[in-house]
Amino acid sequence: MLPRSTPSAAGVDAQGVRDFVRAATDSGLELHSLMIVRGGAVVAQGWWEPYTPDGTALVYSLSKMLTSTAVGIAVGEGLVDLDATVSEALGDQAPARAAPWVHRARVRDLLAMSSGHESDGLEAMMAAVVAGHDPLATFLTLPAEHAPGEVFTYNQGCTLTLAAILARVTGERLLDWLRPRLLEPLGIDRIAWTPMPGLTGPTGAGLEQGFSGAQVTTAAIAALGELWRREGRWGEEQLVPRDYLEAARSTQVDNVGRHTEPDWQRGYGFQVWRSRHGYRGDGAFGQLCLVLPEQEAVVAVTAQTELMQRELDLVWEHLLPALESGGGTAQADEALERELAALRLEPPPRLVRRPESVVGLLDVDHRVVESAPLLGRVESVRISRRDGGFVMTWRADGADHETPVGVGAWLRGELPSPWSFPPAVAVAGEAGADGIRVRVVYVESPHALTVTITGDGARMSWVTQPLR
Span 259-310, pLDDT tens digits: 889 999 999 999 999 999 999 999 999 999 999 999 999 999 999 999 999 9
| Closest to 272 measured CA to CA, from 152, 176, 183 | 152
Residues 109-116 have a mean pLDDT of 98
Whether the predicted model's global pTM rises above the 0.85 cut: yes
Residue 327: pLDDT band with limits 50, 70, 90: confident
Average pLDDT, the chain: 94
Residue 359: pLDDT band with limits 50, 70, 90: confident
Residues with Cβ < 8 Å from 342, sequence gap 6 or more?
A: none
Question: What is the predicted pLDDT for the residue at 353?
Answer: 45
Question: What is the predicted pLDDT for the residue at 420?
Answer: 84
Tell me the pLDDT tens digit for each residue of 153-190: 999 999 999 999 999 999 999 999 999 999 999 999 99
- Residues 230-249, buried b or exposed e (16+ Cβ, 10 A)? bbbebeeeebbbeebbebbb
Is the pLDDT score of 356 beyond 70? no
Is the pLDDT score of 351 beyond 60? no
Residue 354: pLDDT band with limits 50, 70, 90: very low
Helix (H) / strand (E) containing 412? strand 411-414
Tell me the three state secondary structure of residue 86: helix
One-letter amino acid of 466: P
Is the pLDDT score of 434 beyond 80? no
* 245-252 LR contacts (CB < 8 Å, sep 24+): 245/72, 247/108, 248/68, 248/72, 248/111, 248/272, 249/274, 249/279, 249/291, 250/274, 252/108, 252/111, 252/112, 252/114
Question: What is the predicted pLDDT for the residue at 432?
Answer: 76
Are 443 and 424 contacting, i.e. CB atoms less than 8 angstroms apart?
A: yes
Q: Minimum mean pLDDT among 14-28, 162-176, 249-263: which range?
A: 249-263
| Closest to 453 measured CA to CA, from 380, 354, 374 | 380
Are 15 and 340 contacting, i.e. CB atoms less than 8 angstroms apart?
A: no
One-letter amino acid of 448: A
Measured CA angle at 307 (ends 305, 312), to 5 deg:
105
Measured CA angle at 404 (ends 402, 407), to 5 deg:
150
CA end-to-end distance (rounded Å), the chain: 32
Cα 300 to chain centroid distance, Å, stands at 11
